Amino acid sequence: MKLLLLFSLVALAQCLLHRIPLRKGKTLRQSLQEHGLLERYLKQHPYNPAAKYFRTLVSSEPMQNYMDSSYYGTISIGTPPQEFTVIFDTGSSNLWVPSVYCTSLSCSNHKRFNPAESSTFISTNESLYVAYGTGSMTGILGYDTVQVADIEVYNQIFGLSETEPGDFFYYSPFDGILGLAYPSIASAGATPVFDNMMSEGLVARDLFSVYLSKDEESGSFVLFGAIDPYYVTNGIVWIPLSAETYWQITMRSVSIKGKAVVCQNGCQAIVDTGTSLLAMPNQDLTEVLRALGATSSGEIDCNDRYSLPDIVFHISDAEFPVPPSAYVTESNGVCSLGFEGMDVPTESGEMWILGDVFIREYYVVFNRGTNMVGLARLP
């Protein structure tokens, strides 16, 4: 309550100072932008606590939790804006949405971008192909205004899908994908949305942070340019990246009951909001299932679910446990582990993917300014 009052008083004072009316339905940021005063405000108040919370609040993008398997939010593209739901995916770097040119069944039940209805769309002759672990798309590239939360990015390059093979995207509750990894892995060399946010000075800090809710509850968000102090009361462990491609880090080992069962000599992992489960090399999966007493298909006796041990990830000089409440799911009386085998070879060996099963236990900061990932135990 005190924080909200402080924010309101500072906002009111700034509006009186600059004679900016707080019109109904407009945020302070929007009013400042309209009068060309936003950048001056941020420069004049770099250490003002109220200004920090102001940035935090106005740059937050809420996400819908769909069955704890995917998290997506709403963006708009074009003038006037056309809305789409997208996965905010730290495991890829391209933005794309279905288009009116798409001939695949997957596009038939999703919103489709129509460039003819946008006065700011700029076409290109460039093609795009993006492949994921569960699907792919082909299409063409174009430029238009993209709005995420209250941040407008002008002349953002994005993909307009023409084909989306298979049925994965048909059954997906979201329309497209907004990649938040590094430009080095962007297909067709397309500049990622967050890179344009940084280069155009649209975020207070060159980072974004993510909170994923559990049990299909609301409250998930991605926060551009700020760290929400509520979620880092237990402190942040900063982990340097081992490669500026995905959000890739080095793990020292993975232990169960105090014993390193896999990754004993170190291995690579990526922190990926676009992957639902914990993915690991198939050989490691076999060892983990054996250590937990699960079947080869990952099933366990539901009576044992609460007596299973934590899986502990040793990263840098810290330990990051994932309890059985996070990695065991129950459906129709059958309990299974939220792991999958996936062989992803790299120059440094096989790759682990720390997906939503892991991320739900931590508040994650993706820092482009320092090329680090920050992990904070949730309060």
State the catalytic residue, choosing from 68, 89, 175, 195: 89
By DSSP bridging, strand 247-256 and strand 243-244 are: antiparallel
Tell me whether the omega of the peptide bond preceding residue 80 falls within 30 degrees of 0, making it cis: yes
Q: What are phi and psi of 7, to 5 degrees?
A: -60, -45
| 167 belongs to the catalytic site | no
Element at 63 (helix H, strand E) = strand 60-66
Q: What angle is formed at CA 266 by the lines to CA 262 and CA 271, rounded to 5 degrees? A: 90
CA contacts within 13 A on the Cβ side of 181: 25
CA distance between the termini of the chain: 19
| 356 belongs to the catalytic site | no
**Alpha-carbon distance 131 to 197, whole Å?**
25
State the catalytic residue, choosing from 175, 272, 284, 356: 272
Q: What are phi and psi of 96, to 5 degrees?
A: -150, 155
Q: For residue 30, with 0-12 CB atoms within 10 Å meaning exposed, 13-18 middle and 19 or more buried, which class applies?
A: middle
**Alpha-carbon distance 361 to 356, whole Å?**
9
C-beta separation of 310 from 204 below 8 A = no
Residues known to be catalytic: 89, 272
